[in-house]
A and B are shown apart, each in its own frame.
Chain A
Amino acid sequence: QKEVEQDPGPLSVPEGAIVSLNCTYSNSAFQYFMWYRQYSRKGPELLMYTYSSGNKEDGRFTAQVDKSSKYISLFIRDSQPSDSATYLCAPTGGSYIPTFGRGTSLIVHP
């Protein structure tokens, strides 16, 4: 089993939709749960992260972690065409070295 599983998509939604992006992981030692966004021909940039279980909100973005089921989610409200990118989940343990999923390609069309 891979350490981090993420559906590569693409996920295509209309502008204004609520988007749900998800990952599952296998390593119980993961403590930090990060989401990176990668635009085409750019390096990934950190979008937000949570520590342990729970929710964290930042503007239109909400990150959610359920450690009991090893399930990570990122919700985007009122999605915009500028949100079109690849979203990578990256849980991390005590070594502080991120382990990345494959990324989900999101397309928001006007």
Chain B
Amino acid sequence: ETGVTQTPRHLVMGMTNKKSLKCEQHLGHNAMYWYKQSAKKPLELMFVYSLEERVENNSVPSRFSPECPNSSHLFLHLHTLQPEDSALYLCASSAGTVTAEAFFGQGTRLTVV
């Protein structure tokens, strides 16, 4: 295990549903990230939280809404998604300004139908 746990591992949702992805890290890190990984594309950074404050939002549609209630937990709330949002959503954490090493969870495979 990597110390970063994501749930659920797989999710199928309709376009009108609301669901949430959860990420938890046990590494004592102070920065957490959401990435989207689609086939044949680079990992796309979606959101960055440092010390529980959002420091980056890469023009992500408002149908994706992050939440970071504390330094160990990160959520991604999903509503009215589109089929093109189907992808692997990866959570990562790092020690932030101390080191560049990011540790990833296993990902949530999301399918929007």
Q: Which residues of A contact B (CB under 8 A)?
A: 2, 4, 6, 8, 32, 34, 36, 41-46, 49, 88, 90, 92, 96-103
Given contacts A97-B33, A97-B56, contact A43 B104 (CB under 8 A): yes
14 A-B pairs with C-beta separation under 8 A: A6-B42, A42-B106, A43-B104, A43-B107, A45-B103, A46-B102, A46-B103, A49-B101, A96-B97, A96-B99, A97-B48, A98-B100, A99-B45, A101-B42
From A33, which residue of chain B is reached at the shortest CB distance?
Answer: B100
- Contact B103–A102 (Cβ < 8 Å): no
Contact A102 B105 (CB under 8 A): no
A103 to B104: give the CA distance in the assembly, Å. 16
Give chain B's interface residues, CB within 8 Å of chain A.
2, 4, 6, 31, 33, 35, 40-43, 45, 48, 56, 90, 92, 94, 96-97, 99-107, 109
Q: Give Cα A4 to B100, complex, Å.
A: 17
**Chain A residues closer than 8 Å to B90, beta-carbon distance:** 43-44
**Chain A residues near B97 (CB, 8 Å)?**
96
Q: Judge whether B104 and A34 touch: CB under 8 Å.
A: no
Write out the residue numbers on chain A whose beta carbons fall within 8 Å of the beta carbon of B96: 96
A contacts with B: majority SS? loop
Known: A43-B6, A96-B94. 4 other contacts (CB 8 A): A43-B107, A44-B104, A96-B97, A100-B35
Contact of A46 with B107 at beta-carbon distance under 8 Å, contacts A88-B43, A97-B45, A100-B42 already known: no
Nearest CB of A to B53, in Å: 14
Nearest CB of chain A from residue B21's CB, rounded to whole Å? 13
Q: Which residue of the partner chain A has the closest CB to B107?
A: A43
Cβ of A100 and Cβ of B94 under 8 Å apart? no
Known contacts: A43-B90, A46-B101, A97-B48. The answer to whether A103 contacts B42 by CB under 8 A is yes
> CA A76 – CA B105 in complex, angstroms?
25
Kindly state the separation between the CA atoms of A99 and B48 in the bound complex, as whole angstroms: 13
Whether the Cβ atoms of A4 and B94 lie closer than 8 Å is no
Contact of A34 among B35, B101, B106 (CB under 8 A): B101
